[in-house]
Amino acid sequence: MLKNLQGIKVYLGSKSPRRKELLGELIPKFEVLNIDVEEVYDAGLSPIQIAEYLSELKAKEGQKHILKKDLLITSDTIVVHKQVILGKPVSEVEAINMLQTLSGDTHQVISAVTICHKHVISTFHEITEVTFKPLSLEEIHYYVSQFKPMDKAGAYGIQEWIGKIGVTSIKGSYYNVMGLPVQRLYEQLKTVSK
């Protein structure tokens, strides 16, 4: 459908299998570019600014490894609960604590996406509100032990068991919570010219 991208080599600058899967439904042929950056940012930035900064940081690093005519997509997703950013947990204990924090409450998932083409960087963000039912400690322990969500911001994947049994409402893009706001990305990619 994105005929304007024919003849343009597309890269996804992400290690996320979820982003790879989602982008594959928009663009059947692309390459994954592993980009390693130190995710350090100014403490005075807002959650939206942090997500955008990290996505752009990845794009700037990725630019060094592609041709000017190529197109690079990078993204960063953060989970915010009461203005506190919940990153990727480093242990099962931290994952359990994060899920207890999110239990019975609403939080925001913010994804920033950067498109880099002809060395022009364009970034947008998407915000989705997600509400969890009160989760029992047994449900949280089961999820963490079975699904090992240490690679996910906020310690959960909405597409996994915990999302199916725990999410009571969502306002915004479901795919944003998975890490890539596909509909918005599609609209942005339609504007890319050779």
**Could you list the active site residues?**
76
**Cβ–Cβ under 8 Å, residues 122 and 115:** yes
Angle (deg, nearest 10), helices 137-147 and 92-102: 140
Phi and psi at 59, nearest 5°, equal: -65, -45
User: 77: which strand partners?
Assistant: 111
For residue 122, the one-letter residue type is S
**Cβ–Cβ under 8 Å, residues 135 and 104:** yes
**Cβ–Cβ under 8 Å, residues 115 and 73:** yes
User: 74: which strand partners?
Assistant: 13, 114
Q: What share of the chain is helix, strand, coil (3-state, %, to 5)?
A: 40, 25, 35
Which residue in this structure is represented by tokens 């944003």? Answer: 176
User: How is residue 70 annotated by DSSP?
Assistant: S
